[in-house]
Amino acid sequence: MGVVRGEDWGAVGPVPDDALSAASDGQLADLLAGILRDRDDAAEPSGPTVMLTGGDLCRTLGGRGKVKPGGEATLVDVDVGEALLDGRLHRFVAHLVVRPARHPGRWWVAANAAHRGGWNVAPRAHPGDGLLDVLDASVPLSEVPAAWRRLGRGVHVPHPEIRQQRSAAIQVTFDRPAPVRIDGRPVGRVRDLSIRVRPGALRLAI
């Protein structure tokens, strides 16, 4: 039931009556500790199915927010990101964003979902391919307005000042502690960051 680029993904099936529910990326991330506890990385998803009715991951997967227990929905296994921020573990389903302390500055994004609000931030991101799309941007002030305008259509890349890579694990150090948001929520500041992917760790009903 994974998500594979260029192929049909998931499978239509019944939503379990005991399925959990999340209306946003943040709410879904809050459920992860209980769902992934004592899970082997290589195992099939063995925790509860989660009905996802909103947020950037839902939009990336084409969800319409109409899934209900006992009904039919697309069931799909998606990846989960795990991040160590200066030694503190955080999990995410859509994005981890490191923002500059002042503008302009360095933006660093690890994306599991393509969309972030009204922006198509990571147009190549796919939530079930075992990889995160990483964008590392230091755009000159004179080019910032044009870059922002292009974000909505996902045509801000390729760009000479936006470095892209796709990776299952990555480490990065920033010159000074920088603000971090995970799935839309502020979590403090980070200087040393390590991220890995847990492939297909979470089963969703969309």
The predicted model gives 93-97 an average pLDDT of 96
Q: Do 139 and 162 meet the contact criterion of CB atoms below 8 Å apart?
A: yes
Neighbours of 171 (CB within 10 A): 11
Tell me: pLDDT of 153 over 80.
no
Question: What value does the mean pLDDT take over residues 17-38?
Answer: 92
Provide the 8-state DSSP code for 177: E
- The secondary structure element, H or E, covering residue 59 is helix 56-60
| pLDDT for residue 123 | 78
Could you give the percent of the chain with pLDDT greater than 70?
A: 78
Question: Domain map of the chain by residue range?
Answer: 11-79, 84-198
Q: Which residues fall within 8 angstroms of residue 175, CB to CB, at 6 or more apart? A: none
Tell me the CA distances in angstroms from 151 to 95, 114, 185, one per residue in order. 15, 11, 20
pLDDT in tens, 49-64: 999 999 999 999 999 8
Structural domain 84-198, CATH architecture: Sandwich (2.60)
Q: Which residues of 130-169 are buried (b: 16+ CB within 10 A; e: fewer)?
A: ebbbbbbbebeeeeeeebeeebeeeebbebeebeeebeee
> 76, 74, 61, 67: which is closest to 22 by C-alpha?
67
pTM of the model: 0.82
pLDDT tens track for 122-147: 777 789 999 999 988 875 544 554 55
Backbone angles phi, psi at 172, to 5 degrees: -150, 145
- Which of 168, 197, 170, 201 lies closest to 40, judged by CA? 201
For residue 192, is pLDDT > 70? yes
**Measured in whole angstroms, how far is the alpha carbon of residue 42 from the centre of its chain?**
20
Report the alpha-carbon distance of residue 15 to residue 18 in Å, rounded: 8
Provide the pLDDT for residue 161: 64
* pLDDT above 60 for 177: yes
Q: What is the pLDDT of residues 70-86, one digit of tens each?
A: 999 999 999 999 999 98
Torsional class of 147: left (φ above 0), alpha (ψ -120 to 50), beta (otherwise): alpha
Q: Is the pLDDT confidence value at 150 over 80?
A: no
- Among 63-67, 69-73, 101-105, the minimum mean pLDDT is found in 101-105
